[in-house]
Amino acid sequence: VPLGAVGSCWVPLGAVGSCWVSLGVIGTHWVPLGAVGSCWVPLGAVGSCWVPLGAVGSCWVPLGAVGSCWVPLGAVGSCWVPLGAVGSCWVPLGAVGSCWVPLGAVGSCWVPLGAVGSCWVPLGAVGSCWVPLGAVGSCWVPLGAVGSCWVTLGAIGCCWVTLGPIGSCWVPLGAVGSCWVPLGAMGSLWVLLGSTG
């Protein structure tokens, strides 16, 4: 059945069958029904989807300026979504999953959730944070002219904060913790919180 400008379908019914539907500007659809089936739909400027349903299935959808998603559902699945100027997310769900989101001028986050997960967020002029959550996690935040903080939570954690002309503080919280603060022209303070403080 050819449908001219609308579409056309071709179905050979040898073993099981297959269908291919072309919708012109809208998209095309092709479905082979050998083992389970598969579908491929390109939507031009909007997006396209391709789904092979061999073991479980997979889908790939590019949305042009908005974003795109690609989901292979072999073991569990994965999704990749780029959002242009806004951000993009990529999530492979093999063991648990992971997500990566760049937000251009705002920031970006990358989270692999293998064991637990990790996140990395650069905020341009404002700051950035990177958190790997392997054992517990760690965070690193540079605030440009204001300051920066780095916190790793391996055993407990530690934090280092530099405030430019004002001062800086570094706190490792391994056993208990310690803090070191230089105040430039004013003075400096270093406090180790071993047994008492």
Tell if the pTM clears 0.75, that is, is over it.
no
**Which DSSP state fits 143?**
-
- Under a CB-based contact definition with an 8 Å cutoff, are residues 31 and 38 in contact? yes
The pLDDT of 166-191, averaged and rounded, is 39
Question: Phi and psi at residue 35, in whole multiples of 5°?
Answer: -80, -65
> Is residue 142 within 8 Å of 128, Cβ to Cβ?
yes
Which of 54, 12, 56 lies closest to 35, judged by CA?
A: 54
How big is the CA angle at 12 (ends 7 and 16), to the nearest 5 degrees?
Answer: 120
pLDDT of 165: 36
Q: Could you give the C-alpha distances from 90 to 62, 142, 173, in angstroms and in order?
A: 13, 25, 33
Tell me which residue has tokens 């056309």: 8
Residue 104 has what pLDDT? 35
Q: What is the pLDDT of residue 131?
A: 38
**Cβ within 8 Å of residue 20, ≥6 positions away:** 8, 9, 10, 28, 29, 30, 31
Q: What is the pLDDT of residue 68?
A: 38
What pLDDT was estimated at residue 181?
A: 40
**Selected residue with higher pLDDT from 49 and 145:** 49
At residue 160, the pLDDT reads 41
pLDDT of the residue at 132: 37
Q: What is the pLDDT of residue 175?
A: 32
- 38-95-154 Cα angle (round to 5): 155
Rg (CA), the chain: 26
Instruction: State pLDDT tens for residues 1-47.
Output: 333 333 344 333 332 334 444 433 333 444 433 323 334 433 332 33
For the chain, give every domain's residue range. Answer: 1-68
User: What pLDDT does residue 124 have?
Assistant: 35
137-142 mean pLDDT: 38
Do you know the residue count of the chain? 197
- What's the confidence (pLDDT) of residue 114? 34
pLDDT on residue 62:
36
Q: What is the pLDDT of residue 85?
A: 29
Model pLDDT, residue 187: 39
Round to whole Å and give the CA distance between 102 and 83.
Answer: 9
Q: Cα–Cα distance between 127 and 146 in angstroms, integer?
A: 9
